[in-house]
Amino acid sequence: MRIATWNVNSITARLPRLLAWLESTGTDVLCVQETKCSAEQFPYDQLRELGYEAAVNATGRWNGVALLSKVGLEDVTSGLAGGPDYEGAQEPRAVSATCGPARVWSVYVPNGREIDHAHFAYKLQWFDALKAAVAEDAAGPRPFAVLGDFNVAPTDDDVWDTTVFEGMTHVTPAERAALAALREAGLSDVVPRPLKYDKPFTYWDYRQLCFPKNKGMRIDLVYGNEPFAKAVSDAYVDREERKGKGASDHAPVVVDLEV
């Protein structure tokens, strides 16, 4: 079983590449972030032609998450129970479902913007709510994972140059502590380090030739419980999909399971 996560940075803009990638990789379940469309605008028909059901939590221009599955889509939960509001509303940042033998979440953690911004406090609150929401499944006997864009680099090795990020979000002790607290719910990072290269980054800014110069960050993660982690047979970052015209600024992260 192949499970992946990918921040597509607009599913409308990325649709041809997404469909081609799904077909070529044989992915069974894909967690999608930053759909940037409403649920009504989501390309259900095109995905159905490839055999995928879709569970979507999206409201419009910003954010939005989805789960695409060829192995079933049951017990769908849209949103984050107990999650905080931002500017009076709960943003569409989480969706979960049972896909075949595994229970999975697709999450798009708030960016945080700046350390003294209200969005940063909201980000930490969102992490607390996520930990509470997944605790029961994380401790359960079936394979379970939270996949997505966490907007946190877990360690200094997960950014291309730590000095560039001093005083900025994504690398602060508070964010990393929130990520560590999530792992304490019974989850671990199932993508090994190093992979086939020293710096398995997953995100590169479009500006200043960041991708060709490999000035990236590892912020797209797969956190699984013990049954999930034991079933992992391979994992990789698909850097090739970050190349070329019309690419997302994130690369897919792929995990193969023997279940």
Domains, the chain, with CATH or none: 2-257 (3.60.10.10)
Q: Which amino acid is at 188?
A: S
Question: How many beta carbons lie within 10 A of that of residue 35, not counting itself?
Answer: 29
Angle at 58 between CA 54 and CA 64, to 5 degrees: 95
Give me the pLDDT at residue 195, please. 58
Q: Which amino acid is at 44?
A: Y
Among residues 190, 112, 115, the alpha carbon closest in space to that of 151 is found at 112
Give me the pLDDT at residue 200, please. 83
Structure tokens at 242: 């970050």
What pLDDT tens digit does each residue of the chain (259 aa) get? 999 999 999 999 999 999 999 999 999 999 999 999 999 999 999 999 999 999 999 998 889 999 999 999 999 999 999 999 999 999 999 999 999 999 999 999 999 999 999 999 999 999 999 999 999 999 999 999 999 999 999 999 999 999 999 999 999 999 999 999 999 999 999 997 655 556 689 999 999 999 999 999 999 999 999 999 999 999 999 999 999 999 999 999 999 999 9
Structure tokens at 228: 């999930």
Count Cα atoms within 13 angstroms, Cβ side, for 113.
7
The most distant pair of C-alpha atoms in the chain lies apart, rounded to whole Å, by 47
Check whether the bond before 194 is cis (ω within 30° of 0): yes
Give me the pLDDT at residue 192, please. 74
pLDDT one-digit tens code per residue, 16-50? 999 999 999 999 999 999 999 999 999 999 999 99
Place of tokens 């990520």: 179
Alpha carbon distance 122, 150 (integer Å): 14
Count Cα atoms within 13 angstroms, Cβ side, for 66.
29
Output the CA torsion 56→59→60→62 (10° steps).
-90
Alpha carbon distance 120, 118 (integer Å): 5
Structure tokens at 105: 């979440």
